[in-house]
Structures are given as C-alpha cells and as structure tokens.
Amino acid sequence: MIILKWEPKTGIWCEEEDGVDKLKKNFFGQEKDGKVFLNPEEALYVITFLNGTCYIHEQTAGFNEIASYYIGKNPRLMIDYNAYRDWRDRGLILKKFSEVKLPKHEGKKPKGEKRYPSRSIKQESLSSQAYWYPESLFSVLDDEKVGQHLFNTHWFGQLGVYRQERGNLLRMDFMETIFLSRHFSLKVIESPTGKPVTGDQILAQVSKKREYAKRLYEVYEDWRLKGYVVKTGFKFGSHFRIYFPGASPALSPGRQEGEDREWIHSRHVLHVFPKEQKLLVSEWARAVRVAHSVKKTFLLSVPDLKEKDMSELGAASHFLAYRRKKQGQNLVREDPAADKSRYLLAAFSEDDHIGGVELASLLKKAESLGLQLLLSITDRETSITYYVLNKILLPDSRHEYYEIEWMKP
C-alpha cells in the first residue's frame, strides 16, 4: 500500500520510505526534501490502480473528493486524467509539461519532418474559352481538342463522364476554372450574361456562396503550382485528394501506349482547416479514420496564419510523453531524467471542439520544443485513440502542412 497525505494548500505527497521508493522507481511525482509530491492525475492513478490511500486530516479522501477540489483549477482534469491513465497502463511515462525542466537538447527540430517533391507546372496560354455557371460553381469547355489536352496532360477537370470515357465536354470546378484563368490565360464567359469574367471575379462570387472559398483556393493553387494534381476528396470526407507530380489519367504508372488504362488511385487526402473554424473532434477524427481505412495518408493545412493569430497555451493541460528505447536486446521505457521526450501530448474528448488556431498553436509549440504533436482523443467509454502529426516540407510554400498518422503507443 502507498500512503499519501493531502493538504490542499501544500499538495499531495508521500513520505513513507517504501512508498517513496516505489513512486521514484516508477517515475511518479517530484522529489523534494525526502518526499515525493504528486500532481492530481498521478494521485488519482495511485489511489485507483496502485492500492494507494490518501489522507486529509486523518480522514481518507476518495477519488471524487480529490478530483472535485482540483477540477476548479483545471476544468479539463478528467480528460487529462484519462490520457494519463491510458499512457501509464501501457507501462509508459507521461509528465506534466509545467513540471519538467527541459534538458539542453530539447528544442532541436523534431523527427518526423517529411520533404515532399516539387515540380513547377508548365504554364500555357490557351486560345479557347469556357463558360462559367455561377449557381452550379463550375465551368464547361466544349473545345474537344483543348479539353483532352488539359485533362490528359495536366488532369484538369473531368472529361466526359467520370471513369466511363464517354462525352467530350470538360467540366471544371471553381478552383480549376480560377487557376486556368490566372495561370493558363483561359478566357471565361459568364453564362447568364455572356460577359467575360476574371478568375478574381469568380472567386469573389464563390466566396459569397461557400464559406472559406478563398482558403480552399489558396491551398489548391499552392499544390498545383508545384506540379501536384489536386482533385475533390468528397468521397473520403476531405477537401482534396492529392496525386504527386507526374500523375496523369492518360498514362498510369507502368502503362505503355496501346495498353488498357489502369485507373490511378490517390495515396493522399488533404483537409483544409481554416483558422477561424472550430470543428467537433469526433468529426475531425472520423475524416482521418476514413482516409486510413482506404490506405491514404491524411494531410492537414491551416492556411493564412499570422504570428499574431497564435494563442498562448497554458502548460497545465499538456504533457511530455516518453516511449521505449532499445537497450541491448531489450526495449526499456525511457527515463525523463536522462532521455529526450518525444511528444507534446494534448488531450481531448470526442465531444470537444478544436479550432484551427488552437491546433496551429499546439503545432508551433511542439515544433519550438523539438517535439512532435500527439493528440489523445478519449471516447465516451474511456477508450483512447492517438494521432501524431508530422510536418511536411513543401518547397517554397508559404503555408504549413502536416501528415496525421494513427499511432499505437
């Protein structure tokens, strides 16, 4: 049994020799003057799972009494506690960010950064014109030769019927229409009026109908200018599906002229998370799960962020997470006193809302510490899913992008 003492003004601590040894051996708490002081999450774990007993003024204090006192200081205590409990149940160490003195080697660039290739798109000057349908948010090009060229060479729009190879009209969504107007000199006629319309005018029209249209287009344009093919990600619960430079519906990898077409499948989907938006965590996690279920990498963008947008994060609700390392032929858990933490862990529940600025601020904070951001999401049955975010280095981009991967500790 581990005996704890609690004085609300002083904290929760263990002073008995056996208990102190057990807690220190398992990296609980902070030692001071021969005592080990525990934070609320640690104390709740000890009395629930390690046969601990806590006393306040010679009376035992139970889980709810302790939690009810500290919930006033940290309203998210129960969400944080469940993340702590799950990590500890796996035999791993989790420390409150505010309680750890970061060693000198913290602050280096985190592992997990991934450099994506870039190939400038070959811009052309088109002599054809497309007709823009404002209420439908798409345009149609009926010049068959130009339409086939744009579709087969650059994979713009949809030629005919999707995957059926019949029909000769090229239908383009609003982002493709704007991009071709800006960068391929495509002339666009507004169908109801018969008057020419520019890409900027189309974007202004769409912005009145669709929230965050400008943000979506900025991300679309960023990837397209670097040679990527960007198509709708609607079927996968995301804004875009991404094909790496060189992809074409006409020449699938390994296909020779004259062979039957083998349809190309995307390997990445991209979701744009506007900084002003708040999203239910369960909806966001569902989109990630859909992508992973079809073996696609989920990419995230929070565009148009400025330094002034970043929020100052309170350290009380975040953890430094440690895993295991190889020692000889064995795997041993990392020691917070000797090993660099791997992750900045932020805990959420499935009923939380997370904002674009909040997520971006967490990413920036983790990056400044040389850590990867790890999100723990607790469902209503206390099961936890973990997602780790890796920064993408996209050459000459003014936006920041991240891969999100499901992670099992």
Q: Are residues 176 and 272 in the same domain?
A: no
The pLDDT of residue 278: 86
Q: How far is CA 338 from CA 32, 323, 334, 380, in A?
A: 19, 13, 8, 36
> Would you call 55 a catalytic residue per the annotation?
no
The pLDDT of residue 260: 45
Q: Are residues 264 and 373 in the same domain?
A: yes
Q: What is the Cα–Cα distance from 170 to 188, expressed in whole angstroms? A: 13
The identity of residue 338, as a single letter, is A
Last-in-domain residue among 182, 199, 225: 225
Q: Are residues 98 and 140 in the same domain?
A: no
| Range in 108-122, 227-241, 252-266 with the lowest mean pLDDT | 252-266
Q: What is the Cα–Cα distance from 52 to 60, expressed in whole angstroms? A: 11
Q: How confident is the model at residue 83 (pLDDT cuts 50, 70, 90)?
A: very high
Q: Are residues 106 and 45 in the same domain?
A: no
Q: Are 221 and 214 in contact (CB under 8 A)?
A: no
Q: Are 118 and 394 in contact (CB under 8 A)?
A: yes
Catalytic: which of 45, 70, 243, 402? 243
Q: Are residues 254 and 287 in the same domain?
A: yes
Angle at 346 between CA 344 and CA 348, to 5 degrees: 165
Helices vs. strands in the chain: H and E counts, helices first = 10, 26
Q: Are residues 196 and 274 in the same domain?
A: no
Q: Are residues 200 and 263 in the same domain?
A: no
Average of per-residue pLDDT across 38-54: 97
Q: Are residues 103 and 152 in the same domain?
A: no
> Would you call 154 a catalytic residue per the annotation?
no
3-state secondary structure of 37: strand
Q: Are residues 92 and 64 in the same domain?
A: no
Question: Which residue in this structure is represented by tokens 């057990």?
Answer: 22
Strand ranges of the sheet holding 52-56, from the earlier edge strand across to the other edge: 30-32, 35-38, 11-14, 2-7, 52-56, 59-60
DSSP strand E in 125-203: where?
129-133, 138-141, 158-159, 170-173, 187-190
Last-in-domain residue among 200, 225, 250: 225
**pLDDT digit string (tens) for 317-335?**
689 999 999 888 899 999 8
Structure tokens at 131: 């007709």
Q: How confident is the model at residue 255 (pLDDT cuts 50, 70, 90)?
A: very low
Residue 284 has pLDDT above 90, yes or no: no
Q: How confident is the model at residue 141 (pLDDT cuts 50, 70, 90)?
A: very high
Q: What is the Cα Rg of the chain in Å?
A: 27
Average of per-residue pLDDT across 259-264: 50
Angle at 339 between CA 335 and CA 345, to 5 degrees: 85
Residue 251 has pLDDT above 60, yes or no: no
Average of per-residue pLDDT across 98-121: 73
Average of per-residue pLDDT across 188-211: 95
Query: How many domains is the chain partitioned into structurally?
Result: 3
CATH code of the domain covering residue 26 = 3.40.1170.20
Residue 109 has pLDDT above 70, yes or no: no
- For residues 247 and 105, the model is more confident at 247
Residue 254 has pLDDT above 50, yes or no: no
Q: How far is CA 196 from CA 171, 174, 199, 324, 387, in A?
A: 18, 15, 10, 63, 47
Q: What is the Cα–Cα distance from 102 to 203, expressed in whole angstroms? A: 47
Catalytic: which of 239, 296, 318, 340? 296
Catalytic: which of 24, 111, 114, 265? 265
**pLDDT digit string (tens) for 323-367?**
999 888 899 999 888 888 899 999 999 999 988 888 888 888 888
Structure tokens at 274: 């506007």
* Share of residues in the chain with pLDDT > 90 (%): 61
Q: How confident is the model at residue 102 (pLDDT cuts 50, 70, 90)?
A: low
Calculate the average pLDDT of the chain.
88
Residue 253 has pLDDT above 70, yes or no: no
- Domain with 275, as residue range(s), is 76-118+229-409
Average of per-residue pLDDT across 275-284: 86
> Would you call 265 a catalytic residue per the annotation?
yes
Q: How confident is the model at residue 168 (pLDDT cuts 50, 70, 90)?
A: confident
Q: Are residues 236 and 382 in the same domain?
A: yes
The pLDDT of residue 367: 84
**pLDDT digit string (tens) for 371-401?**
899 999 999 999 999 999 988 989 989 888 9
The pLDDT of residue 259: 43
Residue 220 has pLDDT above 80, yes or no: yes
Structure tokens at 107: 């602050």
The pLDDT of residue 378: 94
Report the 10 Å Cβ neighbour count for 35: 18
Q: What secondary structure letter does DSSP report for 316?
A: G
Q: Are residues 143 and 87 in the same domain?
A: no
Q: Are residues 108 and 146 in the same domain?
A: no
| Range in 109-113, 265-269, 303-307, 380-384 with the lowest mean pLDDT | 109-113
- Per-residue buried b or exposed e for 245-284, using 16+ beta carbons within 10 Å of the residue's own CB: eebbbebeeeeeeeeeeeebebebbbbbbbbebebebbeb
3-state secondary structure of 165: coil
3-state secondary structure of 254: coil
Last-in-domain residue among 190, 207, 225: 225
